[in-house]
Amino acid sequence: MKSIIGGIGISGIGALLVSAAPVLAGGIERAPQSLPPLFEKGNYAEISFGGVNPKVKGRDIAGFSTGDVAQGYGFAGFAYKHQFNDNLSAALIVEQPFGADILYGSSTPVLDGTRVEVNSTTYTALLRYKFDNNFSVHGGIRGSRADGNVRLQGLGYQTVSGYNLKIDGAWGVGWVAGVAYEMPDIAARVSLTYNSSIDHDFDMKESGGPLPVTMSGNHTVTTPRSWTLEGQTGIAPDTLLFGSIRWVKWSEFKVDNFLFPIQTPAGTIPLVEVKDTTTYTIGLGRKFTDNWSGSVTFLYEPSEDGKISPLAPVNGRKAVTVAAIYTMDNMKISAGINYTKLGDADLGVGPSGNKRAVAKMDDSDVWGVGVRIGYYF
């Protein structure tokens, strides 16, 4: 089985493509904050980049097409891992885990002009200590910078139509902790990692809609905590089985400011409401020659009951990723393509648990490509 160990990047490229390609997967998540570089051998550095072309469309309750509301985007990342000795190592990982770019055009009078834009970058510094019995522990801190803009527009938003929210960039800090167990003879590893929630204290400006003047203030937004269980094992010479289960507490992602949440006799109206998600992946990697390996990965995220916010207009997903890995001397180049079928989403606005329908998105999918270049030294 040891010949597959040098190709552990098979599972890494699966994480890169499966996670980065789907737009708004699991709320506004674009990457699962996985830690493959921490488990690479020796000293290691990598860069990753790619592009995503989503199509999210449907019809509003008046029967008009929404058009394609999701905008394409690119992504990039960097990781460096340093092995101090046989037991102690450290890593720095830079990525863009959260993001959104949704715009409803003039074809839908119900949501015409509604817009959300979110940008984020995280910097994670980690230490890992490996015990002599193949157990290890890892942990560290994660700094996150984010900003965004929201506009609510169209007949569906009624009295709050015309509302604008500008969120200035701000930093937040959280932490990471986990454990792992490895069986090198069969290329097996299982790890469990916890990512804490992160509070961002944003300066916000609100205007329009029911607000007669611009309101400014500092408000806290929490990005959600998560648990990730990842595993892999050799199942035959040069063949690797890998997978993961990831749970994200999206219900704690709330944007509370001067106007929202709005209290009404029918209930509380949030600006955006997202439900918790669980995502499953499984994949198979194969080393064909000393230089070439490949993998196929499948992903499933079940849909949730109820109406979904127009600001995060997808509900569940199924995906497949095909990747190729070329290894030469100390360099490893991975590339792949991802196709994601996004679940149908009934969109609604209004009080939690009593939202009124505004649209149904039932023709949505995503294509994504990604490249990862790694170097051992």
Indicate if the pLDDT at residue 107 is higher than 60.
yes
Q: Tell me, what's the pLDDT at 131?
A: 96
- pLDDT band, very low/low/confident/very high, at 27 (cuts 50, 70, 90): low
- pLDDT band, very low/low/confident/very high, at 279 (cuts 50, 70, 90): very high
pLDDT per position as a tens digit, 156-197: 999 999 999 999 999 999 999 999 999 999 999 999 999 999
Pairing of strands 188-195, 198-207: unpaired
- pLDDT band, very low/low/confident/very high, at 266 (cuts 50, 70, 90): confident
pLDDT per position as a tens digit, 118-132: 999 999 999 999 999
- Residue 52 dihedral angles phi and psi, to the nearest 5°: -135, 135
Letter string b/e over residues 109-132, b meaning 16 or more CB atoms within 10 A of that residue's CB: ebbbbbbbbbbbbbbbebebebee
Pairing of strands 135-152, 115-130: antiparallel
Indicate if the pLDDT at residue 8 is higher than 90.
no
- Quick one: tokens of 77? 């990342």
pLDDT per position as a tens digit, 308-366: 999 989 899 999 999 999 999 999 999 999 999 999 999 999 998 889 999 999 989 99
What is the residue extent of each domain of the chain? 2-376
Q: Cα(243)–Cα(339) distance, rounded to whole angstroms? A: 18
Q: Tell me, what's the pLDDT at 22?
A: 40
- pLDDT band, very low/low/confident/very high, at 21 (cuts 50, 70, 90): very low
Indicate if the pLDDT at residue 17 is higher than 60.
no
- Quick one: tokens of 120? 């984020």
Q: Cα(149)–Cα(144) distance, rounded to whole angstroms? A: 17
Indicate if the pLDDT at residue 66 is higher than 60.
yes
The structure's pTM equals 0.91
For residues 14 and 365, is the Cβ–Cβ distance under 8 A?
no
Helices and strands, number each (H, E), in the chain = 2, 22
Indicate if the pLDDT at residue 247 is higher than 90.
yes
Q: Cα(219)–Cα(322) distance, rounded to whole angstroms? A: 42
| Topology classification of domain 2-376 | Porin (2.40.160)
- Quick one: tokens of 322? 């095909």
Q: Cα(160)–Cα(271) distance, rounded to whole angstroms? A: 10
Q: Cα(178)–Cα(193) distance, rounded to whole angstroms? A: 4
For residues 134 and 183, is the Cβ–Cβ distance under 8 A?
yes
Q: Hey, what's the torsion of the CAs at 275, 54, 310, 160, to 10 degrees?
A: 130
